[in-house]
Structure 1
Amino acid sequence: MIKTVLITGCSTGLGNTTARKFAHEGWNVVATMRKPDHSLTAEYPERIFVTELDVTNVTSISSAIEAGIERFGQIDAVVNNAGVSILSVLETTPMNAIRGVFETNVFGTINVIQAITPYFRGQDGGTIVNITSNLGFTSNPLLTIYTATKHAIEGLSESLAYELESQNISVKLVEPGAMRTTSFASNTMSASQDASFPQSYKPYFDHMMQSMMNYPFDNADENQVADQIYTAVSDESDQLRFLAGPDAEETARLRWTTSEETYMTTIRELMGQTAWRNRQGN
Structure 2
Amino acid sequence: MSQTILITGASSGIGKAAAHHFAAQGWNVIASMRQPEKEQELGQVPNIRLARLDVQDPATIASAIAAGIEQFGAIDVLLNNAGFGQYGAFEAIAPAQIQAQFDVNVFGVMNTIRAILPHFRQRRAGLIINVSSGIGRFTLPMLSMYAASKFALEGFSEGLSYELLPLNIGVKIIEPGGVATDFHERSNELFAASGGLTDYDAYAATAFGVLGAMGQARLSTAEEVAAVIYGAATDGTNTLRYVIAPDIQALFDARTNLPDQEYVNFMRKKFGLEA
Whether TM exceeds 0.5 here: the answer is yes
The one-letter code sitting in structure 2 at the alignment partner of 1:5 is: I
Aligned equivalent of 2:167: 167
When the two structures are superposed, what TM-score results if normalisation uses the length of structure 2?
A: 0.93
Aligned equivalent of 1:58: 58
Matched-pair contact (CA < 8 Å) for 2:93–2:192: no
Matched-pair contact (CA < 8 Å) for 2:126–2:168: yes
Aligned equivalent of 1:229: 229
Extract unaligned runs of 5+ from structure 1: none
- Report how far residue 155 of structure 1 moved: 0.5
Question: CA 1:197–1:19 in 2, change beyond 3 Å: closer, same or farther?
Answer: farther
Q: Encode CA deviations 1:76-128: one digit per residue, 9 max, x unaligned.
A: 00000000111111112111110011000000000000000001111120000
Q: How many matched pairs?
A: 273
Q: Encode CA deviations 1:157-208: one digit per residue, 9 max, x unaligned.
A: 11100101121100000000012522x1343133325763611111111222
Aligned equivalent of 1:11: 11
- Report how far residue 26 of structure 1 moved: 1.2
Matched-pair contact (CA < 8 Å) for 1:97–1:194: no
Aligned equivalent of 1:76: 76
> What SS does structure 2 have at the residue aligned with 1:246?
coil
Q: Encode CA deviations 1:215-269: one digit per residue, 9 max, x unaligned.
A: 1632222111111111111132221000012135332222122222332233344
Question: CA 1:220–1:57 in 2, change beyond 3 Å: closer, same or farther?
Answer: same
User: Partners of 2:208 and 2:181 in 1: how far apart?
Assistant: 17
Alignment of 1:180-259 (within 5 A): 180-182=180-182, 184-193=183-192, 196=195, 198-215=197-214, 217-259=217-259
When the two structures are superposed, what TM-score results if normalisation uses the length of structure 1?
A: 0.91
User: Partners of 2:249 and 2:160 in 1: how far apart?
Assistant: 24
Indicate the RMSD between aligned Cα atoms, in angstroms. 1.9
After superposing the two structures, state which structure 1 stretch, 228-237 or 78-87, moved more.
Answer: 228-237
Question: CA 1:248–1:126 in 2, change beyond 3 Å: closer, same or farther?
Answer: farther
Matched-pair contact (CA < 8 Å) for 2:92–2:193: no
Alignment of 1:26-41 (within 5 A): 26-36=26-36, 37-41=38-42
Q: Pick the aligned partner of 1:273 from 255, 271, 274.
A: 271
Question: CA 1:213–1:96 in 2, change beyond 3 Å: closer, same or farther?
Answer: same
User: Partners of 1:195 and 1:116 in 2: how far apart?
Assistant: 41
Question: CA 1:58–1:106 in 2, change beyond 3 Å: closer, same or farther?
Answer: same
